[in-house]
Amino acid sequence: MNLSVRAKITIVMCLAAVIGNVAIGITSNTIVGRLAGQSAQQVMTANCSEIVSVVNQAIDQQRKSLVIASKIIGSDIAIDQRKKIEYVIEDQITHENGIASLPVMRHGSETVSKMNTQVEKLTNILGGSVTIFQRFEKGLLRVSTTVKREDGSSAVGTYIPVDSPVYKSIMLGNDYYGRAFVVSSWYVAGYKPLRDKSGTIIGALYVGTKEDELIDSINVLINKKIGAAGYAEIFDAEKRQVHHPDKNIEGTIRLTPQHEAMVKQKDGFITAAQASKANDGKDRIKLYRFMSIPDMNWIVAVSNYMDDINKVSQGLRSLLVIVSVLLLAVMLGVSLLFGFALTTPLKQLAAVFGDVASGTGDLTRRLPVKSRDEIGMLSVSFNRFADVIQGFFLKVRDSVRATRKQSEVLAANMNESASATTQMTATVKSVEKNIAAQFALVEQTSRDNQRVNGVSGIIVENIGTLLHDTGKLKQMIEGNAASISQMAASIEEMNATARMLATVATDANSSAEQLSSVSTESRDLIERTAENMETVLASVSTISEFVSLIATIASQTNLLAMNAAIEAAHAGEHGKGFAVVAEEIRKLSDMSNQQADEAKRSLREIEKSIVATAEELKATESNFEMVSSQSSRIREIVTQIKNASDEEMHGTQEMLSAIGSISDTSGMVKTTYESVNEKLGMVQADFQQFQIFLKTSAESLGKLKALSDENTKSMQEMGLGGEEINKAIQEVLMLTTKTSQAIGVLEDEIGRYRIEGAAPGRPLLSGNGDAAAKAIPSPENT
């Protein structure tokens, strides 16, 4: 069925009004009934609680009074067995009479038995009545009391029998509070055991007030009317009526089901049928609220008839029906007016939307604003929306034109990037060749280092041999000194000693010549080692230049990678792959820079080691010159010794003179050879340190060789990356061409709409759909 918006709105609002009124009626009926019941229960509970509270306060008052009386009496009470008093006794329940003779009860020095002075003082203080009981075989006897019999006489001599709850509680050592039968009436009472100094229970102390006095004090509460015909009542656990508005019922036993249920449950609500005089003796449903008072053994009940409770809610229900009908009529009228007011401007809005949605619409048209309600706000919102759409299309057109220009610039930049990438690839290949040359130089340096290590090992061995020979020479000199001593001791052995000395001199001369030859060869080796060190230094310098060239190339590569990343960012989504490749190239260039820095540090360490070794070789060369000089001097000394030996055979005086000279010379030779031996040990230690430096240099060259190999691989990867970048640039160029074509299509689509040429001030749409020449006022200014 094709209905207009106005008809739909009217139908929907009518249905909503009917459903809403029905729902409100049902809910209100339920709530009113529930509230009426709850209100009645709350009132009944409050009345019942108030009565219970007053009774409990009276019992608490008896507790307080009993505490005060007990403190006054204290524990200074006793039975004096030396004297007895005779009582006329009477059971307060059966009224059975008798005679009993009991010991005198004393309080301090005062006699309690048959003396009411103490209890009268307590009664004046506490009010009500006070009694002191003495325990005997039949129960608790009143020996001093202010309680009166029915005839007004003192109740002294009456007793509580042993089967009474009060007696049982006292003999168990417990207090008793609550309702108790005293002589001839019911009391609200409190009982407390009395003990002598040994702790034996000898009696009891009582305070209390008549139950009638308590009921009189709560009569106002009990006689309060509950609703139309409700009332309060009190009965005990035996269902004996204690208080009732109908005084004829008081004292009777109530055997109704509701009384049975209340005694059993103690607390709560119940409903029961009860005959009513107002209903011609017919049963009416009654609601009971009841609470128990355990100390009094009472049940307090407040009741009211259910039909009286429900009358309260009936008037409210009638009022709700009238209000619902009036509300329904008002909502029907409002729905008709609302439908008319809503559909008229909606038709105008639909006409404008139809024009805009035609595909070649005029985006400069606007709706009139004739009111400040939601329709007026809708027209204002549409006009603002049209402004936004018109502005959007203008921005899109401008953005498309700008994008076309940017795509042309991007194409030109991609061509430049392609050229730069080609140049970068060529540079990477050149760097790769340089690294290969560097690798060859590093290997040559390593081989030279190994040769220098071998030569230094030979030098160390030669120095060891020289040390061994000089040791022998030292021993020979020491033997010569011993021979000279023997010559001085024995002239007869002089000729044999002279011959031995000549032989030793000949051997010494030969050793001196050998030492001089070894010193000369060692110096030559040191000179060649120094020349090799200079060659290594030159190689290290060349390698440092190559490493600097690598660092420069890596920096340029990093710069090219950054430019490539910028161009990839300009390419947008299509340049992401190109950006990833550029990032990888930049990381490789950073790695090359780091490795070049590591190589530079290693080369500086090698250069320092070589320079230190060269300085130590110079010192070694100087030591060997000294050894050579000392060797020449030794040869001269040995020649002198030989000449002295020849002259010795010519005469004893000359020989003795020669022996003295030889002894002095031998000491000098021994000292000289010790110095030579020490210097040779130092040279050996220096060459061992030099070997350590050579090992360090070999390790550094190994690291440099590994770095060169890694740089070669990195350059190869950079070359492959350049090729990938070149491919990505070609793809970006292709995408740029397609983007330019898509921009042309978008320009054609935007051209279908009229987005410029509107008069300032938002032209209005008149009632017949033509544009008016007035500006639209905003709702705030209407």
Q: Which domains does the chain have, with CATH numbers?
A: 74-216 (3.30.450.20), 403-751 (1.10.287.950)
Q: What is the 3-state secondary structure (H, E, C) of 68-122?
A: HHHHHHCCCEEEEEEEEEEEEEEECCCCCEEEEEEEEEEECCEECCCCCHHHHHH
pLDDT of res. 778? 39
pLDDT mean over 623-649: 71
DSSP-based helix, strand, coil % in the chain, nearest 5: 70, 15, 15
**How far apart are the two ends of the chain, measured CA to CA in Å?**
40
Residues forming beta bridges with residue 204, ordered by sequence position: 133, 193
Residue 666 pLDDT grade (very low, low, confident, very high; cuts 50, 70, 90): low
| Region 185-210 average pLDDT | 92
Residue 86: pLDDT band (50, 70, 90) is: very high
**Residues near 454 by Cβ (< 8 Å), separated by ≥ 6?**
none
The reported pLDDT for the residue numbered 299 is 93
Residue 199, pLDDT > 50, answer yes
The pLDDT of residue 386 is above 80: no
pLDDT-based confidence at 192, cuts 50/70/90? very high
Element (H, E) at 232: strand 231-236
**For residue 782, what pLDDT is reported?**
35
Per-residue confidence band for 291, with pLDDT thresholds at 50, 70 and 90? very high
| Higher-confidence position of 222 and 202 | 202
For the segment 393-444, what is each residue's pLDDT rounded down to a tens digit? 777 777 777 777 777 777 777 777 777 777 777 777 777 677 777 677 667 7
Which pLDDT score, from 0 to 100, does residue 772 have? 33
Which DSSP symbol is given to 362?
B
The predicted structure's pLDDT at residue 116: 78
**Tens-place pLDDT, residues 451-478:** 766 766 777 676 777 667 666 666 766 6
CB crowding 475-484: b at 16 or more within 10 Å, else e: ebbeebbebb
- pTM, to two decimals: 0.39
Residue 405 has a pLDDT of: 76
Q: Among candidates 782, 755, 768, which has minimal Cα distance to 365?
A: 755
Q: Mean of the per-residue pLDDT values for the chain?
A: 76
> For residues 507 and 291, what is the distance between their CA atoms, to the nearest angstrom?
143
At position 110, the amino acid (one-letter code) is: E
The listed range with the strongest mean pLDDT (128-137, 296-305, 611-620) is 128-137
Q: What is the mean pLDDT of residues 657-673?
A: 65
| C-beta of residue 126 within 8 angstroms of C-beta of residue 65 | yes
DSSP calls for 691-722: HHHHHHHHHHHHHHHHHHHHHHHHHHHHHHHH
pLDDT in tens, 699-752: 776 776 777 677 777 767 776 776 777 777 777 777 777 777 777 777 676 766
Query: For residue 773, what pLDDT is reported?
Result: 29
Spatial distance between the Cα atoms of 691 and 680, rounded to a whole number of angstroms: 17
Mean pLDDT over residues 308-330, rounded?
A: 71
Which contacts qualify for 121-126: CB closer than 8 Å, 24 or more apart?
A: 122/69, 122/72, 122/207, 125/68, 125/72, 126/65, 126/68, 126/69, 126/207
Grade residue 385 by pLDDT with cuts at 50, 70 and 90.
Answer: confident
Q: What is residue 776's predicted lDDT score, i.e. its pLDDT?
A: 35
The confidence band for 208, taking pLDDT boundaries of 50, 70 and 90, is: very high
> How many CB atoms neighbour CB 413 within 10 A?
20
- Examine the pLDDT at 652 and tell me if it is beyond 70: no
pLDDT at 378: 74
Is it the case that residue 193 has pLDDT exceeding 80? yes
User: Do residues 648 and 494 lie in contact, with contact meaning Cβ atoms separated by under 8 Å?
Assistant: yes
Determine the Cα–Cα distance for residues 108 and 122; give it in Å rounded to an integer.
Answer: 16
Whole-angstrom distance, CA of residue 223 vs CA of residue 232: 7
CA distance 558 to 217: 106
Tell me the C-alpha distance between 373 and 403, whole Å.
43
pLDDT digits (tens, 9 = 90+) for 224-279: 777 677 888 899 888 888 888 888 888 899 988 999 999 999 999 998 887 666 55
- Residue 726: φ, ψ to 5°: -60, -45
User: Which of 246-260, 343-357, 471-485, 763-777 has the least mean pLDDT?
Assistant: 763-777
Residue type, 75: S
Averaged pLDDT for residues 16-31: 69
* SS3 at position 743: helix
Q: Residue 99: which residues within 8 A CB-CB, separation 6 or more?
A: 86, 87, 88, 89
Are 777 and 380 in contact by the 8 Å Cβ rule? The answer is no
Mean pLDDT, range 498-512, rounded to an integer: 70
> What is the C-alpha radius of gyration for the chain, rounded to an integer number of angstroms?
67
Q: Which of 406, 17, 12, 46 is nearest to 226 (CA)?
A: 46
CA distance 487 to 490: 5
- Strand intervals (E) in 151-216: 158-161, 176-182, 185-195, 201-210
Alpha helices in 174-305 (DSSP H): 211-217, 219-222, 257-265
Question: Does residue 566 have a pLDDT over 70?
Answer: yes
Q: Name which of 163-167, 322-326, 491-495, 763-767 the model is least confident about.
A: 763-767
